Amino acid sequence: MNAAELMTTPGALANNNLLLWLLMLVSLLCVVLAVLLMRLQRLNRQCRAQHELREQDRQRLTESHQLLRHLIDHLPQLIAAKDQQGVYIECNQSYLNFLGLSRDAVVGKRTRDVFTSNDIHRSMEEQDEQVRLSKSSHSQSRWLAGADNELRLISTQKLPLVDSADRLWGVLSISEDTTAENQMRQIDKHRNRVLEQLAQGAPLLDIFNELVTFTEELYPGLLCSILLLDDRSQTLQLGAAPSLPDFYNKVVHGIRIGEGVGSCGTAAFTGRPVLVSDIQNHPYWRGFEELTAKAGLAACWSLPIKNRQGKVLGTFAIYYTEPADPTPDQMELMMVNAHLAAIAIEAAKMDEQLSQLSQAVEHSASFVVIADSEQRMDYVNHSLMEATGYRSDQLKGQPINMLAADDEDPELQESIRQTVQQGEIWHGERRFKGLDGQGFWVMSSVAPIRNADNEVTHLVCVSEDITALKQEQERMARLAFYDPLTGLANRRLFKDRLDVALKQAQRQQQSLALIYLDLDRFKAVNDEHGHEVGDELLKEVALRLQQTLRESDVIARIGGDEFNIILPDVTDSDAAEQVADKVLQAVVEPFVTGDIELKVSASIGLTLYPDDGVDAKQLIKNADVAMYRSKAQGRNCRLRYTA
């Protein structure tokens, strides 16, 4: 059988078909495998791409986290976060620096592990609990000791941490060191208190004690000294140093100033601040080591007390029991105290000078002019020429009024002429002018000189330059006659203005109204919110009164929460009552300071001249009676006085 026959046999055909099917199956499997391989490769590429994207996202997240960490760590605020169980989960570097701890010593710990004081960590945990329960912010200030064991006033705001579904998961605290701001507020109050003492004419020693006591209370551990410079002996005299040992003060009292004579002797001699941080090793204190060691003094910072002309009046010094440099806040307070001490010393000297001038001005003079009966100058002394810039030949033969300032009131000159013609001595202040046209104030006495026939032959004008005195009087008058808190007239100025207004009303036969206003329950405001809020309320009341009343009306704060108002030239009682009602309405408007809203009321007493009284004492008394009747009636109302 040949091959062709073999292949055409039934058995051969069956085998061929089987082989063909096998080939087809293998081909199909190859195609499937190829497709699967392509899909696997594509899937692999997709996986690698997704992995790269995830890696890029992780890298960006890491970089963002590092950036956020860098930003938060460089913020001055103390920032920390805790979970719901009160465990620290994060904090910034400022927080760690304040505590003096590492991140590992804080993160993962509780408040009681970080703050050892039971009172402090209980208070913090209670504050955290309030935030968690209310899911709202909470603020609080407390004194805390940091890594340097120095107490600092820390103001903290705590905020709830919630997720996108508003579920609470922790508490965030943001704290700030407000010690400096608090001290500045205290210093401002201290300055105002001293200025008020000056306005009330307090003794110099009382002012010194206030400066020393406030400083020592604000900075426990500091000891203060005020020394006065005696011009004649160039020695330092003890002004006030109640906390320094007596044996130390006895040595310092009367010590002669000079370069290298301690901190105060050097400051008074050079007129510059002297800050010695280590007494035992400073050349200025050589020879005083045993004395200061016995007194327990290790550092001394001294500032010269100067007047406005730069003349040294004394020194204000602070001692410390450890070697140290003053902080910026302490330096600021020292400068404030030195300035206030200068004002007090100058005021005391001014009072003394005024007392002497009142007795000696008629018998001694800086400027002397002798004029003939025609009031032409015959003689001028050297002091007058030096003050005015004129030569003697430029003044002799000229009218005496040549020295008068250009804006001098002609009525004043006529008053001087008539007084002298009547044989009397004229005393008063006037303004002279120099060769350059500049005016200056003088205190003058113009007296007639008579001959044997009682005829006026000459005039003697004795004057002294009081320009500086006038400027000081204006400044002191501001302190003496105005309330330092509100800027309104004080009790003293009010009485003066009331007397003037009554005289004018009597002359012109006009009516006058007096309002006595007292805030209701003002003490409760101070007790609940503090005197700072109370002071802000008083200033706002003063502003509202000024906005409500006329410029011609006189508004005065006579003490505490009491205000008096003079309404000159009122037409009748109805007009006065309408003004009183407007005043009451202005006062009762809600008052807002910070996050505090206050609603206050007032009781007003009203009295009229001449219906209710004809003198100041009677009007004030009747207004006071009406005001208390207003309070008795239920407060927040206005009553007219009735007998």
For residues 18 and 31, give the distance between their C-alpha atoms in angstroms, rounded to a whole number.
Answer: 20
User: Side by side, which strands form the sheet with 426-433?
Assistant: 377-380, 367-372, 456-465, 439-450, 426-433
For the four alpha carbons of 495, 501, 506 and 510, in that order, the dihedral sign comes to negative
Q: What is the rounded distance in angstroms from the CA atom of residue 440 to the CA atom of residue 643?
A: 54
Collapse the DSSP code of 173 into the 3-class scheme (helix H, G, I; strand E, B; otherwise coil) and give the result: strand
Rounded Cα distance between 320 and 299, Å, is: 5
Pairing label, strands 637-640, 602-609: parallel
Q: Which tokens go with 443?
A: 């205190």
Pairing, β 223-230 against β 312-320: antiparallel
Report yes or no: 114 and 96 within 8 Å, Cβ to Cβ: no
Show Cβ contacts of residue 511 under 8 Å, excluding neighbours closer than 6 positions. 505, 569, 570, 571, 572, 576, 608, 609, 610, 611
Please provide the distance, in angstroms rounded to a whole number, between the alpha carbons at the two ends of the chain: 162
Site of tokens 């006038």: 470
In 225-367, alpha helices (H): 246-252, 262-270, 289-295, 328-360
What is d(CA 70, CA 561) in angstroms, rounded to the nearest whole number?
Answer: 52
Which tokens in the block code for residue 374? 């025609």
Q: Token pair 């590092």 is at which residue? A: 66
Length of the chain: 643
* Burial grade of 600 (CB within 10 A; 0-12, 13-18, 19 or more): buried
Q: Quote the radius of gyration of the chain (alpha carbons, Å).
A: 44
355, 344 contact by CB (below 8 A): no
Task: Report how far residue 237's alpha carbon sits from residue 358's, in angstroms, rounded to the nearest whole number.
Answer: 28
The tally of CA atoms less than 13 A away on the side-chain side of residue 543 is: 9
Q: Using N-to-C axis directions, what is the helix angle for 328-360 and 204-218, rounded to 10°?
A: 180
| DSSP conformational letter for 610 | T
Three-state SS at 587: helix
- How does 389-428 read in b/e, with b if 16+ C-beta sit within 10 Å? ebeeeebeeeebeebbbeebeeeeeeebeebbeeeeebee
Amino acid at 243: S
Cα distance between residue 271 and residue 255, in whole Å: 17
Catalytic residue numbers, as ranges: 561
Closest CA to 554 of 585, 512, 591, 592: 512
Structure tokens at 310: 């730069």
Helices H / strands E in the chain, number of each? 20, 22
Which element (helix H / strand E) includes 380?
strand 377-380
Both tokens assigned to 606:
């009203």
DSSP conformation class of 327:
P
Going across the sheet that includes 554-559, the strands are 554-559, 562-570, 511-519, 602-609, 637-640
Note whether 343 and 316 are within 8 A (CB).
no
